[in-house]
Every structure is written in C-alpha cells, then in structure tokens.
Structure 1
Amino acid sequence: MNKAILKDYLDSLESKGVPGCDCVIFHKHKPVFRHTTGFADAGKTKHLTSENLFWLFSATKLITCTAIMQLVEKGKVSLDAPVADYLPEYKHLNVKCGSEVVPAKNTLTIRHLLSMQSGLNYNLQASSILKVLEDTEYEATTRQVIRALANEPLEFEPGTHFLYSLSHDVLGAVIEEVSGQKFGEYLEEHILKPLGMKNTGFELTPDRKANMSEQFEYDMDTMTSKPISLANCYKLSSKYESGGAGLLSTADDYILFLDAMCNDGVSADGYRVLTRESIDMMRKDQMNDISKKDFDEFGRIGYSYGLGVRTLVEKERSGVKSPLGEFGWDGAAGAYALIDVKNRLAIFYVQHVRGCGYAYSDIHPKIRDLSYEMLDL
C-alpha cells in the first residue's frame, strides 16, 4: 500500500488555500490510513492534530437521517406517512404559485423531507423564523422553530422537485415528537454514545472550544483563506439543535459512525446502528426526472440523491473509481464522508474552510479516487 500518494496530495492542499486538514480511512473495521496536516490557526502557531474539532455543517445530515431510519425500523415512523401525523402544524401548507400563494395539493411526507423534495427552502431569514426567535429572545427550541417554519409557503408542490433545504431540520423535530426526547438526547443515546463518539454534539462547550480548529473563509479567485468567527449560522438560538447542520465533531469520532455504516450497520464492537436493509433504502435513488435535473446542478457527476445522501448511480460519465451505490455527503466547511458497503470502506476528510467550492469540485473526488488507488480496490 503506497500511502504517499494520498499523503502528498493532502500536504499539497495548503498551497491551495486550505490551512489544515485531517483524513482517516477505515477498511473492514480497521484504520488503514490517517494523515493530519497544516495548522489549526491563521497564525500557524498550532499544528492541526487529531484532538481538533470542526463544525460538521451538512455532514450532520447523515446522522439525522440515520436516526430517522432507526425509528422507521422500530415502526414508529413511516416513510410515506404525512409529516402532519407527527407535526400537526404541517397539515395545511401553502405553496407559491407564480405571484400567488395557494393551498398545497400534495401531502408532505417523511420521504419528501429525507429526499429534499419537500418544497422547503434554506432561508434562515424567513419572517416566521425571525419572529419566533425574537419572541423567545433567541432561546427558541427546535420544536418551536420548526413549528414556526410551517407558516412559510413551499417553493413547489411536495414530491415534484429537488431543493436543498431545511428539510432535515424538520426531521429533528419529528425525532423529538416520536421519541419524547430532545433531539440531541436521542442522538446521544442511540448513535453517539454507543459508537464511542465522545466529542460529538451540538454544544460548543468551553472544553470543545479550546480544541476547535479556527474557521476560515475561502477566496476562490486567489485560492487563499482568511479566519472568520467560530460561530455556526445554523445554530439559530441557544436551544436550537439543527438536524441539517448543527453538530461538531472530530475525525476520530465521525469515522466510527461511517465505519459502522459501511459494515452493514454494525460497529467494530457489535453495536447495530441500522440494518443493511435500511442502509440500502437510504442509498436508493429517490429522484424523478425533474428532481434529478435539479440535483445535477450540485455538480456531483455520476451521483443522484437518496434518503439524505448522495448515491453513485453511474460510473461511465464520471470515471468514478468507487462502486455503484457508494454514498455519503459533505459539509459547508469542506467535510466529506464516503461509505462503501461493497468494500466495507469508510473515508472521512475534514477541513474548516467555508465557501471553498474547490473542495467539492476537486478535493473530494481526488481523495476518493486516490484512496481506491492506494488500497487497490
């Protein structure tokens, strides 16, 4: 195994404006590669280490959707049930129709939320959200924010298009209603603690903040980065737990989740997160022809979208080295997760650079392909 081909590439990213990054690969429950490079601060006084934490942003979605699928397995949630069965305020929704707003004809379902075909958008400044935040002095709970969101009109009839949105935040509220627990408590009990993910959660505690990598903003024109606040704009209030972008974690933690998922849902020490059947449901293409065109605008060549994950549906057009059905997702600061159940392979790459389009167009595909080359898979 020639680890240098991937190590050298990761080392080269500092010259492309990525101050530091961490990459870990597990194969059949065993760590086969780990490389941490660069710095955790703009002043280059602190080398990035395995102790550093990062905001996961949308890599949170993989864990949220896994939690929903756990509840589906237990018969507590149905994929094709109306969301209103769990969140009554979503029973009478409105939808934009040209310059008008009219009652929605289609019923919004859990499957629509998972597959981003709900009609919701990602407007964090929606008037209903701002009002509930102001009314609660920015202490609104997850349930309160999602209840307010139901007042906003949908962009289209549920099930007709794909639009990246707050859908998975709504799933967090569904989990709270069904489980009777706070969203974070449910994740801690059923995913994080059993997998040994000790440094993953919604709260930026003083101890976690001390180990957080500095966050940066990318300039695509100059391919350089500058430091920005550690704040997570998706943490709408002190009590809000975002199912779409709220978790922070370390590479050592997150790979434990991916490792279980690529091994038929079972961790190295025997904890079952999901059944293989549920995992196969997650990675099954959910896009209709119109939705697939919408998803293609993301530029994930060869991929479509399943239940909260990108899923590889064609190899010829893209030259992808991973097998069909490889799945995962990424995050706004450049995190990248890959799950390959055929080869029992998990890859996690993390950086802390916002607005870095280069990560999605170049870094992630390169890491994927170099990993398969390195491992001769």
Structure 2
Amino acid sequence: MTGKGNFQELTEFLDGVEKAFGVPACDCILAKDGEILYRHRAGSLKNSGETGKETYWLYSATKIATCTAAMQLMERGRLGLDDPVGKYLPEFEALRVRRTDGSIYPAGRKMTVLHLMTMTGGLDYDLSRPGLRAALALPERERTTQRIVRALSEDPLLFEPGTRFRYSFCHDVLGAVIEVAAGQRLCDYMREFIFAPLGMEDTTFHPNPRQRARMVKQYAHSDDRGTLTDWNQDNEWRFGDEYDSGGAGLMSTVEDYIRLLSALSLGGALPGGERILRSESVKKMATPRLEGVALEDFWNRSAAMKGYNYGLGVRVLVDGRGIASPPGEFGWDGAAGAYALVEPINHIALYYAQQVYSCPIVYQKLHPALRDTVWRCLKKETERKGIK
C-alpha cells in the first residue's frame, strides 16, 4: 500500500468492499499533480504476491480515451464537432427514425460528431438489431471496426439526433470516424498519439498472452443478493481482433490508466512529459452539454448522476450539494465496476478497478461512497495546501 496516515479511512473502505458490495478484489490509485499519492489493492489482491500490474477490462472507461483521441484530431483540424457523421461514414448520411408507434420516417436532422460524443445520436446498445446481427455473423477477418459500425446505420434510430440522451454505440461509431479522419486503425492511432506518449505500455484493444495472464478473474452477480458466478474472461463488446471498440474495448492496468487521467487533470500533459491535449480541449470535454429532456434522460439512467451533466464522453459535476467533489470534477465508469475521476482545479486523478459484471450496487452506492471518502481523506492530507 502507498499512502498511510490520513488515508486510513479510504483503506478501511476498500478492505470492506467485498463484505459490503460482494466485490472479491479491487485496486485503487490516486494521484495529485501527476504524482502517485495513494495505492491500495484489496480483497484477493491484498496479499496475492502479484506485481501490482494486474490487467482489467476497462469497458466503458475506454470512452475517455476515445474522446481524447477525437479532441486531438479537432486540434489538428481533421475533425469538427459539428461535422456530419456522413462526411466520414457515408452510410450515416441518410438515416431513418422509428416513431413510438413503430412507423419509420427519414431523419430530419443529420447525426454529427457532437451527437456521438454526447450520446444523443439516437443509437442504442441492442446487439439483436438486424443490421448489427448480420455484420457480427461475418467471418472474423471481415468484422472490422468500420464494417461493424456501418451496419449500425441500417436500422432506424430511436429518436432524431440531438433531441434525447441514450447510452449506446455512439462512441464505437466515433471510433470508426476517428479511423477515417486519422487514416489509421483506432488501436494504432491511440498507441501512437496517447498511450506511447504517456508511457502506457499495458493499455490495448488486443492484449497479448502475457497481458491476459495477468488479468484479474472476472465475475458477475447472478442475483440481487450479490451471488458471484464465473464470467467469460473475454470482453463481450470486443467483436474480434479486427474490431477496436471505442466504447468498451480497452484493457489496462491501474498504473497505466492513472497516467491518462492525471494528464487530463493537469490540462493535457504529465509533468515533464509530452502534451497530448491543449488545456482548452480538456475544458471543452468537461463542459456540460445536455439540457431539457436529454438531461432528464441522463439523470434517469442512474440516480447517482444527480448533480452531474454530461460533456464530451464524461460526466461533469455541476451541482456539488451533498457531493464531496468540487464542481468541475469529471470522468466515467465501466461495466465491470471501473471508476475514473478527474478534478482539474486541484489536479486530482483517481482510478478504481474491479472485475464484477452485472453489479448495479457498485454504481448506485460504491462509486459515490468511494468518491466522497477520497475527498475526505484528501482534505485531511492536503489541508495546509488548501483543497478548494
């Protein structure tokens, strides 16, 4: 364990997650100003004798990296928030929308990059959609990112782009857009322009045998009592070696992913390191974007999001009443329980990893409790420096 003293409350919290939430192993890392302030591995990892470089599927925490890549391309003039998706993927030029009565009509709005990044594109996460199902039946060598994503355009949207919020394949489509704009595979682009510059050697869409061998065992909760069952050790959103899921496909370690989060907390660069984003771009990512019914949709997805809005791929805290984080905190989570937090005022970054699928209590209770415990400890630890 790194960090003692004022972090005792956090250590006790993490040591108790197995009993309180049915999570057999977790790993938590905290950084300030790009330096590791605290690290603790609990449950079966606590005395495992492993190196601390265990790998985890990030699932939707991948989205932070994907949106970072999109922001980089905007800085280079290769991509624009208001660009129609059809500019990069022609199949998305003439979309259709299904009304609630089942009738279908031509979409009156063009889907844009902004709609993808804010999850307002009108897509969903339904693997049974006919177009997607047909694409997933192709031989693996043909299941490329762009081929699979193009199939999503074949089925009607749930609503006109830009009018509602729906968690969906939007960031997978964004990944395909990035490929076209950058002229290279998403996995290659991220390795060259994000992972290598930040020294993230174990972050990948396509783990090698050594990385897979270090993966923490993945479970699922099979009922409301938190009964653990073995889960497929692969990632169900990874549709083969030719597919790079911008929404859920990355594997990483806590030591790796904290580097990306720390860079964002510092305005786009680690101390003494290569800049991956301008500070203005980080601010744009963390600018609240939803209003009206779309914001209601976002809040209705999870009670834990009250007080938050949604930016470009990240939750953004706008109302801190009853929440320990300062307004402006942003981040996201993942389907097996990952939790990422970036706080740019005090240059704080937090990453928590576990491998338990179908575990709603993690999002409703564990993550908020973890966040608030971290801030209580930070305020004790840095009182003389002044946490705002």
Q: TM-score range by the shorter chain?
A: over 0.9
Please tell me whether the aligned partners of residues 220 and 357 of structure 1 are also in contact (alpha carbons under 8 angstroms): no
Distance 1:347 1:356 in 2: 20
Amino acid of the structure 2 residue aligned with 1:63: A
5+ residue gaps in structure 2?
380-386
How far residue 228 of structure 1 moved from its aligned partner, in angstroms, is 1.3
Correspondence for 2:94 among 92, 95, 112: 92
Please tell me whether the aligned partners of residues 133 and 139 of structure 1 are also in contact (alpha carbons under 8 angstroms): no
Deviations 1:312-337 (A, max 9, x none): 01112xx1111111100000000000
1:360 is aligned to 363
Cα gap change, 1:348/1:312 in structure 2, threshold over 3 Å: closer, same or farther? same
Please tell me whether the aligned partners of residues 133 and 237 of structure 1 are also in contact (alpha carbons under 8 angstroms): no
Cα gap change, 1:77/1:163 in structure 2, threshold over 3 Å: closer, same or farther? same
SS in 2 for 1:95: strand
Deviations 1:195-234 (A, max 9, x none): 0110010113211111011100024522332221102110
SS in 2 for 1:232: coil
> Which 10-residue stretch deviates more, 219-228 or 116-125?
219-228
2:350 is aligned to 347
Correspondence for 1:237 among 235, 240, 246: 240
Q: TM-score, normalised by structure 2?
A: 0.93
List structure 1 runs of 4+ shifted beyond 4 angstroms: 44-49
Please tell me whether the aligned partners of residues 320 and 369 of structure 1 are also in contact (alpha carbons under 8 angstroms): yes
Q: Superposed, which structure 2 residues align to 1:29-108 within 5 Å? A: 29-39=34-44, 46=48, 50-97=52-99, 98-108=101-111
SS in 2 for 1:334: coil
Distance 2:47 2:103 in 1: 56
Matched-pair identity in %: 42
SS in 2 for 1:328: strand
How far residue 237 of structure 1 moved from its aligned partner, in angstroms, is 2.5
Q: Superposed, which structure 2 residues align to 1:246-325 within 5 Å? A: 246-297=249-300, 298-299=302-303, 300-316=305-321, 319-325=322-328
1:10 is aligned to 14
SS in 1 for 2:220: strand
5+ residue gaps in structure 1?
none
Distance 1:88 1:122 in 2: 21
SS in 2 for 1:150: helix
Correspondence for 1:117 among 117, 120, 126: 120
Distance 1:279 1:248 in 2: 23
SS in 1 for 2:137: helix
How far residue 142 of structure 1 moved from its aligned partner, in angstroms, is 0.2
Amino acid of the structure 2 residue aligned with 1:69: M
Query: Would you say how many aligned residue pairs link Structure 1 and Structure 2?
Result: 372
2:27 is aligned to 22
1:130 is aligned to 133
Please tell me whether the aligned partners of residues 38 and 48 of structure 1 are also in contact (alpha carbons under 8 angstroms): no
Q: TM-score, normalised by structure 1?
A: 0.95
Amino acid of the structure 2 residue aligned with 1:66: T
How far residue 368 of structure 1 moved from its aligned partner, in angstroms, is 1.0
SS in 2 for 1:187: helix
Correspondence for 2:201 among 191, 195, 198: 198
Distance 1:76 1:179 in 2: 7
CA RMSD of aligned residues (A): 1.5
How far residue 363 of structure 1 moved from its aligned partner, in angstroms, is 1.2
SS in 2 for 1:272: coil
